[in-house]
Amino acid sequence: NWSMSDLSEELIRQLRERIGGGRVILALSGGVDSSVVAMLLHRAVGNRFIPIFVNTGLLRKNEPEEVIRTFDGLGIKIHYVDASERFFKVLDGVEDPEEKRKRIGHTFIDVFYEEAMKLRELYGDVKYLAQGTLYPDVIESKVAERKAGAKIKTHHNVGGLPENLPFEIVEPLRYLFKDEVRALGKVLGLPDSILKRHPFPGPGLAVRIIGPVTREAVVLLQEVDHIFIQELKSWGLYDQVWQAFAVLLPIKTVGVMGDYRTYENVVALRAVTSEDGMTADWAKLPHEFLNHVAKRIVNEVKGVNRVVYDITSKPPATIEWE
């Protein structure tokens, strides 16, 4: 009876054999895929595995700290790089969504590569680069190669690495589907906070701030998003939706607070149900819930005086707004 724990032991054995006495690095985001790879590598080669966490400055509130703490608790020490300044600099004044993606993708690769080369100088035997590529990613990039030119939206975590890297690529999940990866993660002891986490796009909050990205806009959006997610969890709704998040709109609207007229930002809340992200329905969240969340946001986040809820499905809309 071929079980997940047999699979897990077999993958660990293969990794140990392949990497041998060398060292292996990984861009660890705290998402399910890279987290499962991290667990496998840790079990396979212990501290000859070096996970690199790049803080883009575009993550959710407290995310870097939480990822570091979670892995610390699992015995895995993260090599942390704060590159947020650099990301804000390359995004300065950029409005076009694909341009944002392109710049973030390139900057991420540059930062990661520089860090990898530093580690290589420190330890001569950093020979392997692990990636959380899944079977659908393999298929998707094969299809994309075939019809290059007919681009819809670029997803920067797919096939974004430069060619002739001085590392051998290790992809322990390349024959697995997402649900199998989750099951594997469970067997390996990953907590629900990682296994049941909503998907988060590589370009992060940059594609949830319509228009130019600034540090102030990110901080504001992080606060709004945090309230929304916190409330979804406490109302028991978080696990019932595929993804939920807030979007900062580039317009201001008039409001009233006490005796004063306000002229401030609008945020949109988005929550969808979906099987795979390819199609999605807007989530019919209870009105009392939405009411409660909207009140909290307007009361607690300075600079927001209006909250709207997105009621379009995919298609024709996409899940993200950019």
Task: Tell me if 201 contacts ligand XMP by CB under 6 A.
Answer: yes
Binding-site member from 155, 178, 252, 296 for ligand XMP (CB under 6 A):
155
Question: What distance in Å separates the CA atoms of residue 275 and residue 177, rounded to the nearest whole number?
Answer: 13
- Residues with Cβ within 8 Å of 252's Cβ and at least 6 positions away in sequence, in order, are 263, 264, 265, 266
Give the nearer residue to ligand XMP in terms of CB position, either 155 or 296: 155
- Residues with Cβ within 8 Å of 33's Cβ and at least 6 positions away in sequence, in order, are 132, 133, 134, 173, 181
**Candidates 83-91, 173-181, 223-231, 314-322; binding stretch for ligand XMP (CB under 6 A):** 314-322
Cβ 275 to ligand XMP shortest distance, Å: 12
Task: Tell me if 153 contacts ligand XMP by CB under 6 A.
Answer: yes
**Candidates 32-40, 115-123, 150-158, 166-174; binding stretch for ligand XMP (CB under 6 A):** 150-158
Q: Which two tokens stand for residue 127?
A: 């020979």
Give the nearer residue to ligand XMP in terms of CB position, either 142 or 153: 153
Task: Tell me if 63 contacts ligand XMP by CB under 6 A.
Answer: no
- Site track 263-292 with ligand XMP (rule: CB under 6 A), x = hit: --------------x---------------
| DSSP SS3 for 257 | strand
Give the nearer residue to ligand XMP in terms of CB position, either 71 or 245: 245
Closest to 167 in 3D by CA, of 27, 321, 16: 27
Cβ 138 to ligand XMP shortest distance, Å: 16
Which residues are documented as binding site?
A: 29-35
Other CB atoms within a 10 A radius of the CB of residue 75 amount to 11
Task: Tell me if 156 contacts ligand XMP by CB under 6 A.
Answer: yes
Angstrom CA distances, 193 to 129, 186, 247, stand at 26, 11, 23
The gap between the terminal CA atoms of the chain, to the nearest Å, is 45
Angstrom CA distances, 296 to 187, 204, 299, 307, 322, stand at 38, 23, 5, 10, 26
Task: Tell me if 197 contacts ligand XMP by CB under 6 A.
Answer: no
Question: What distance in Å separates the CA atoms of residue 75 and residue 46, rounded to the nearest whole number?
Answer: 9
Binding-site member from 202, 223, 228, 269 for ligand XMP (CB under 6 A):
202
**Candidates 32-40, 194-202, 247-255, 287-295; binding stretch for ligand XMP (CB under 6 A):** 194-202
Cβ 249 to ligand XMP shortest distance, Å: 16
**Number of residues lying near ligand XMP (CB under 6 A):** 15
Task: Tell me if 204 contacts ligand XMP by CB under 6 A.
Answer: no
**Candidates 126-134, 136-144, 151-159, 180-188; binding stretch for ligand XMP (CB under 6 A):** 151-159
Task: Tell me if 103 contacts ligand XMP by CB under 6 A.
Answer: no
Task: Tell me if 320 contacts ligand XMP by CB under 6 A.
Answer: yes
> What does the buried/exposed string (b/e) look like for 31-56 if buried means 16 or more CB atoms within 10 Å of the residue's CB?
bbbbbbbbbbbbbbbeebbbbbbbbb
Give the nearer residue to ligand XMP in terms of CB position, either 156 or 197: 156
**For the CA atoms of 82, 83, 85, 87, what is the dihedral angle to 10 degrees?**
-140
Task: Tell me if 203 contacts ligand XMP by CB under 6 A.
Answer: yes
Report, in angstroms and rounded to the nearest whole number, the Rg of the chain calculated over CA atoms: 21
- Phi first, then psi, for residue 248 (nearest 5°) are -95, 120
| DSSP SS3 for 32 | helix
Task: Tell me if 157 contacts ligand XMP by CB under 6 A.
Answer: yes
Which residues are documented as binding site for ATP?
A: 29-35
Question: What distance in Å separates the CA atoms of residue 154 and residue 133, rounded to the nearest whole number?
Answer: 16
- In the complex, which residues of this chain contact ligand XMP (CB under 6 A)? 101, 153, 155-157, 199, 201-203, 243, 277, 314, 318-320
